[in-house]
Amino acid sequence: MAAFAQEQLDALVNGMYREGFLDEQFQQIRALDEGGSPDFLVELLGLFCADTDRMLNEAALLLNQPIVDYKKVDAYFHQLKGSSASVGAHSFKLTCMLVRDSCDKNDKESCLEALNLAKQRFYELSKRLNIMIQLEQAVYAHKAGK
Amino acid sequence: MMASPLFLLLALALYFSPLKKQQIVEHILKVSEAAMEKMKGEIGEEERSNCDNQGDGKLKVRILVVDDSLLDRKVVERLLNKSEEGFEVITVDNGKKAMDILGLNEAETELAAINDQSIDIVLTDYCMPGMTGYDLLKAVKGQSFRKPIPVVVMSSENEPQRISRCRAIGAEDFILKPIQIKDVQRLRNYAKPNTSSPIVGSKRKMKPLELATESGGSEKRPRLAGVVVA
């Protein structure tokens, strides 16, 4: 059972690297776990997902105003770009940069397009991260139970 | 031993009667204070060594990490703690709190308990709301600390103007986020642990020589515990 979970986990992570969801920074984050426990990784990814979800919603609200505060939208995506870089969320980081480019041009239409792309990318990423967290915990639970 | 000079002085006092007793007491107190200071220093060094020593003779480096992003603070803290470079990590989420810790704000806060001289190096994010990392860098470099505190700035933006701006006012280095293991090794090179800084939360407490006042007299004469000076 543990071996199966480990296989699933390895396949998932390798796939995420291959598809560009993750970059080498994620490997560094994983290496920060202690004693094989995924607690730190789980905490970090949970924090990332919660913060990202909140900021995407707030940015969407701002972009749906009659007069858009591009500075505020840019500030959110500056933070999102930073946090995604910190956890190794490569493709999501790139979409954040696209939103920022649109904010620079004060272009509402392209901002909204880029935001939708960012939301979609985040949705795909967070699905995989949630599965990863469950598999990490399952593998650790089996190893710890030995 | 501490007692010997005291007894010697007392003996001399008794022998050379013209010496005023008050002067003798004052001199004894000076001697004992000097001895206590010396012992404090020795104990302080030992405590620092016991508390902060990594076991290989290296002293721990106290690093103040300033970043408004909780996620980034957690990553940096973990990276620094896990490295073999011997860091003691203190994190804050804004420049104002960093100033408090460094003793640069006049207003006393609960954070002021950490003495400014116990921070060996500051690692600050550049982009922060309110007080930016650049403002903090400027404030730190504008102070004449007993021992200068190195400041390293980190940023997710690789902007040459930003980097040269920071270096121009004395930043030791500029690191691109996300911070890597090799960056941690660089940080260690900039920081030298402060061996003369006061110990926070020291285990042993010095009991000073107690000065007791005589009761019942209009003029209170100090006397050493166990020694009566008429």
Q: Kindly report the pTM of this predicted structure.
A: 0.72
pLDDT at B222: 41
What pLDDT does B11 receive?
61
- Please state, in angstroms and rounded to a whole number, the distance separating the CA atoms of residues A77 and A75: 5
Q: Convert the pLDDT of each residue in B20-55 to its tens digit.
A: 655 655 665 555 555 555 554 544 444 444 444 455
**How does A47-56 read in b/e, with b if 16+ C-beta sit within 10 Å?**
bbbebbeebb
Nearest CA in chain A to B79: A32
Question: Is residue B73 a contact partner of residue B65, using CB atoms and an 8 Å limit?
Answer: yes
> Residue B213: which pLDDT band, with cuts at 50, 70 and 90?
very low
Residue B218 DSSP symbol: S
In this complex, the residue of A34, A40, A85 whose CB is nearest that of residue B178 is A85
Residue of A nearest to B82 (CA): A32
Q: If pLDDT is split at 50, 70 and 90, which confidence band does B9 have?
A: low
Domain ranges of chain B: 59-190
Per-residue pLDDT, B50: 43
pLDDT, tens digit, for every residue of A60-87?
A: 999 999 999 999 999 999 999 999 999 9
Q: Which of B177, B157, A79, B105 is nearest to B165 (CA)?
A: B157
Q: Which helix (H) or strand (E) holds B212?
A: strand B211-213
Which residues, including other chains, have CB under 8 Å from residue B112's CB and lie 6 or more apart? B100, B101, B103, B105
Question: Is B71 within 8 Å of A34 when comparing Cβ atoms?
Answer: no
Q: What is the pLDDT of residue B33?
A: 57
Q: Which two tokens stand for residue B10?
A: 């007392």
- Convert the pLDDT of each residue in B118-175 to its tens digit: 899 999 999 999 999 999 999 999 887 777 899 999 999 999 999 999 999 999 999 9
Size of interface A-B (CB pairs under 8 A): 45
The length of chain A in residues reads 146
Give the pLDDT of residue A102: 94
Confidence (pLDDT) at A143: 83
Q: Which residues on chain A are in Cβ contact (under 8 Å) with B70? A: 47, 51
pLDDT for the residue numbered B185? 87
Model confidence band, residue B191 (pLDDT cutoffs 50, 70, 90):
confident
Sign for the CA dihedral angle at A21, A24, A25, A31 comes to positive
Residue B82, SS3 per DSSP: helix
Among candidate residues B213, B217, B223, B219, the one with its CA nearest the CA of residue B24: B223
User: How does DSSP classify residue B107?
Assistant: S
Please name the amino acid found at residue B129: P
Mutating which of A40, A42, A86 best tests the B interface, going by the most B Cβ atoms within 10 A?
Answer: A86
- pLDDT of B204 reads 39
Provide the CA A64 distance to its chain's centre, in angstroms: 24
Residue B214's pLDDT band (boundaries 50, 70, 90)? very low
Complete DSSP assignment for B136-168? HHHHHHTS--SSPPPEEEEESS--HHHHHHHHH
pLDDT of chain A, 146 residues: tens digit per residue = 778 889 999 999 999 999 999 999 999 999 998 777 889 999 999 999 999 999 999 999 999 999 999 999 999 999 999 999 999 999 999 999 999 999 999 999 999 999 999 999 999 999 999 999 999 999 998 887 76
- Least Cα separation, residue B124 to chain A (angstroms): 14
CB contact under 8 A, B178 and A43: no
Instruction: Supply the CATH classification number for the domain B59-190.
Output: 3.40.50.2300
* Record: contact A32-B79, CB cut-off 8 A: yes
pLDDT in tens, B62-118: 999 999 999 999 999 999 998 888 899 999 999 999 999 998 875 555 554 445 558
- Give me the half-sphere count of Cα atoms (radius 13 Å) on the Cβ side of residue A62: 20
B114 DSSP assignment: S
R_g (Cα) of chain A, nearest Å: 17
| Separation in Å, CA A129 to CA A13, A29, A44, A56 | 9, 13, 11, 17
Pick the residue with more confidence: B200 or A132? A132
- Residues whose CB is less than 8 angstroms from the CB of residue B25 and which lie 6 or more positions away in sequence, other chains included: B222, B223, B224, B229
